[in-house]
Every structure is written in structure tokens, then in C-alpha cells.
């Protein structure tokens, strides 16, 4: 029995499990990089294909990293307001470095540095941490969770027939929902409808018309 043993073993020991999940999470985040001149550029941004069990297991780790990056966005904005727009090691920058404003900036940037170090421990990739804080955190600033989704593929993996799945970020490959047209129950009118000739009764004071030649005579009603 596996009481109080959460998670999937995935056929690996604990240290190998952590390394596997860390590499999968970093691989998903690195697909958002600008790889125009990169020989190993990703096929699709914000998406990786793996087995269904691995995708379900790595998804909480990716969600946790994005949440860590989102929570320090106000501190990053406050630090950006206190930082001067001067070149590093210039005269203006050195005067700001020894001013009281630098101590305020240092206090504002401290939670951001701590969050980046924590994300680096979880991911183990500096470039993935930069993409996480610079691109993904501002993108999901107004979203309280649910940053990724798992889509199961119908075609199994070639070789061992393992179930495959897509792990991707939401908001990029979303399907556009289109409302179906409302059915109308009104009968369709034909484009050209022939008018129906109505029989007009002759007036009472007019005598009935004489029958033509060869037609039988019709007696008037009494």
C-alpha cells in the first residue's frame, strides 16, 4: 500500500525523478525563447510533447514557478521606478549608488532576487528563469492559476505504445469559440411564386353568358 506517498515514481529513484521534472519544466519554458538564429529552435512556442503521466506530474511544478514570478511583479515595478536611467559605473550612477535612493531600491529589489533564486533551485536553468520572470510573469499577471493545460493525443508513442500528451501554456493556442447560427422556423418563401387566379362571380343584374357552340347549356338556378 502507498499510503501518504503522493506522486508518480515514473520508474526512477527520487533524485532521478526530480531531475526529470526539472528538465521537462525548463524545456517547456525555453520554448518561449527567441530562437531565430538557433539551430535547435523549438517547433512550436509554448508547447512540448511527452507522455501523459510525465505531463500530469510536471504541470504543478510549472504552475508553482509562474506563481512565484507573478507575486514579485509589484516589487519589480517599485524597483524599476527607483532605478536611474543611467549607464552603469557612470558619474550619475555612482552618485545614485551612494545616495539614500539606492537603499530604498535595495529593499524593493530584495524579494525579486529571493524569488529568482528560488526559481533557479526549482528549474536549474538561468535562461529559463529569465524567460519566466521577463515574459511569462507579465503575460499571466491577471490570471490566478491555470497557466498550462494537458491535451491527450490519440496516437500512442512509437516503440512502446505509451500514451502521449501535449503540455502547453494557455492563451497562445486557444481555440476560437464560434456560436452556432440560430435556427429559424419560418417557412422559406419561393423567389417566384405564380399568382392564383380567383373566380369572380358576375353581378346579379347581368344575364348569364351564352354557351359557346358545341358546349351543353347550363340551366339557371331557380
At 21-69, the pLDDT tens digits run 999 999 999 999 887 667 778 888 889 999 999 999 999 999 999 999 9
| Helix residue ranges per DSSP H, 72-189 | 73-82, 91-97, 100-123, 126-131, 137-139
Phi-psi domain of 165 (left: phi exceeds 0; alpha: psi -120 through 50; beta: other): beta
Asked if residue 115 is part of any domain, the answer here is: no
In a domain, 4, yes or no: no
Torsion angles phi and psi, residue 163, rounded to 5: -65, 130
Q: Specify if 140 maps to a domain.
A: yes
Residue 48 belongs to domain with CATH number: 3.90.1030.10
3-class DSSP state for residue 165? strand
Residue 41 maps to a domain = yes
Top pLDDT among 195 and 20 is at: 20
State the average pLDDT for the chain: 85
Report the alpha-carbon distance of residue 78 to residue 142 in Å, rounded.
18
Structural domain includes residue 179: no
Number of domains the chain contains: 1
Question: Does residue 54 form part of some domain?
Answer: yes
* Residue whose C-alpha cell is 405564380: 194
User: pTM here?
Assistant: 0.74
Is 222 strand, coil or helix?
coil
Output the pLDDT for position 222.
47
**How do residues 151-182 score in pLDDT, each as one tens digit?**
999 999 998 999 999 999 998 777 777 888 88
Structural domain range at position 57: 14-71+122-169
H-state helical runs in the chain? 14-30, 52-71, 73-82, 91-97, 100-123, 126-131, 137-139
Q: Is 151 helix (H, G, I), strand (E, B) or coil?
A: strand
Residue 93 lies in a domain: no
| Residue labelled with grid coordinates 411564386 | 193
CB atoms within 10 A of CB 172: 12
Domain presence at residue 60 = yes
pLDDT for residue 71: 94
With 60 as the cut, is the pLDDT of residue 140 above it?
yes
Amino acid at each position: 500500500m502507498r499510503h501518504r506517498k503522493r506522486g508518480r515514481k515514473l520508474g526512477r529513484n527520487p533524485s532521478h525523478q526530480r531531475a526529470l521534472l526539472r528538465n521537462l519544466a525548463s524545456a517547456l519554458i525555453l520554448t518561449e525563447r527567441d530562437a531565430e538564429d538557433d539551430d535547435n529552435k523549438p517547433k512550436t512556442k509554448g508547447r512540448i510533447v511527452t507522455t501523459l503521466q510525465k505531463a500530469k506530474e510536471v504541470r504543478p511544478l510549472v504552475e508553482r514557478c509562474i506563481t512565484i514570478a507573478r507575486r514579485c511583479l509589484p516589487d519589480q515595478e517599485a524597483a524599476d521606478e527607483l532605478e536611474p536611467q543611467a549607464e552603469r559605473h557612470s558619474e550619475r550612477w555612482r552618485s545614485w549608488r551612494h545616495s539614500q535612493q539606492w537603499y530604498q531600491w535595495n529593499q524593493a529589489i530584495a524579494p525579486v532576487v529571493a524569488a529568482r533564486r528560488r526559481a533557479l533551485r526549482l528549474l536549474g536553468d538561468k535562461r529559463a528563469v529569465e524567460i519566466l520572470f521577463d515574459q511569462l510573469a507579465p503575460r499571466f499577471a491577471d490570471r490566478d492559476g491555470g497557466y498550462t493545460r494537458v491535451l491527450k493525443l490519440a496516437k500512442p508513442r512509437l516503440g512502446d505504445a505509451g500514451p502521449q500528451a501535449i503540455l502547453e501554456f494557455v492563451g497562445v493556442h486557444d481555440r476560437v469559440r464560434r456560436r452556432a447560427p440560430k435556427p429559424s422556423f419560418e417557412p422559406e418563401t419561393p423567389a417566384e411564386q405564380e399568382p392564383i387566379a380567383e373566380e369572380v362571380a358576375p353581378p346579379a343584374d347581368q344575364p348569364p353568358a351564352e354557351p359557346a357552340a358545341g358546349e351543353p347549356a347550363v340551366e339557371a338556378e331557380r
